[in-house]
Amino acid sequence: MTTVSYHHRVNVLQAMNFAGDGPFARAEWYELLEEKAEKVLVAVAEKDDRKLALVFADHSERLDSLTNWYSFSWAPHGDDAELLEDLARKLKRGRARIVMAPVPDEDGAASLLETAFRQAGWQVRREQCDHNHVLEIGGRTFEQYWASRPGRMRTTLKRKAKKVETEILEQFDADAWRAYEEIYAESWKPEEGDPVLLRRFAEAEAAAGRMRLGIARHEGMAVAAQFWTVENGTAYIHKLAHLESMKPLSAGTTLSAALFEHVIDVDKVDLVDFGTGNDPYKRDWMEIDRPRYRIDCLNPTNPRAWPALVKRILTRLAPASGQS
């Protein structure tokens, strides 16, 4: 028999030895998010020596995957279909809706969740909610990779590279981080979501030897900055920005090229992950577009789910009625 338990602290992930894959699946990341969430719920299913966990922001009758705008993905801790279905069935008690996103499916996570929740009696809608652009290195050197980039990118780097100096830091430096924050504040980017959380994450990644902070300077002035991390053969591009006033320098292109060269030739990564978003410039650097999904589950036995369920049914029937 499957045993299901609920916990309101994410440190249970460490206590139960759930090993997360990547920066957004580790207990330390969830601990940062836990501080901002009103309430968290770690739902754990166990049977014999098998176990599986789902980590949610708990809104009582509704659960949402515990993420924030820095998160590249969210997925179950474990891939046991039987345990997941048993857990999904237990989660129906007292809950009207569960929404999980952004879920990958290159590892089968989205399909696993969709199937398990549907078989457990939830009304499930799966839809693409975002893009994840990645680069598979495939044993190439940076020189070989760069030769395959669009000609305008290679021309830009050749013309502009000498105008800026680049530095890549693997240890946290307060002055360099302050330069990043100042550049970001003056860039085209939207207002930073949680700069304190991001800095704490960067400090922890640096302490673990995973941080790669790139700074580009023109005549001694910091004009572009990028925050990457590297672990287990993957480089993650978290944040990048450049001063709009210095856009003609193309410092962002020069700095990106320096970081790509570093992670490919020095760190020897197998994959570069550009996170979520479908910005056109990401396609210049990356070669694969992986979908990210939202798994939206309604509980048909809970009256509070009925309005959303009726709306979903009517939306589904609308195209058919329009063709009649």
Q: What does the mean pLDDT of the chain come to?
A: 95
Class at the top of the CATH hierarchy for domain 138-269: alpha beta
Which residue in 228, 239, 224 sits closest to 192, CA to CA?
A: 239
Which residue in 5, 79, 76 sits closest to 43, CA to CA?
A: 5
Q: How confident is the model at residue 279 (pLDDT cuts 50, 70, 90)?
A: very high
Query: Cα separation of 301 and 114, whole Å?
Result: 18
Query: Cα separation of 27 and 12, whole Å?
Result: 8
What pLDDT is stored for residue 34 in this prediction?
96
Q: How confident is the model at residue 324 (pLDDT cuts 50, 70, 90)?
A: very low
Query: Cα separation of 139 and 178, whole Å?
Result: 36
Task: Please answer whether residues 108 and 76 qualify as being in contact, where contact means their C-beta atoms are separated by less than 8 angstroms.
Answer: no
Query: Cα separation of 103 and 295, whole Å?
Result: 8
Q: How confident is the model at residue 320 (pLDDT cuts 50, 70, 90)?
A: low
Domain 3-130+293-323 belongs to what topology?
Aminopeptidase (3.40.630)
What pLDDT is stored for residue 321 in this prediction?
53
Please state the domain extents for the chain.
3-130+293-323, 138-269
Same CATH topology for 3-130+293-323 and 138-269? yes
Task: State the pTM of this model.
Answer: 0.94
Structure token digits, residue 167: 């530095």
What does the pLDDT look like over 247-258, one tens digit per residue?
A: 999 999 999 999
Q: Which residues of 17-41 are buried (b: 16+ CB within 10 A; e: fewer)?
A: ebebebbbbbbbbbbbbbeebeebb
Q: Which residue has the tokens 């590279």?
A: 161
Segment 269-278 shows an average pLDDT of 97
- The amino acid occupying position 131 is H
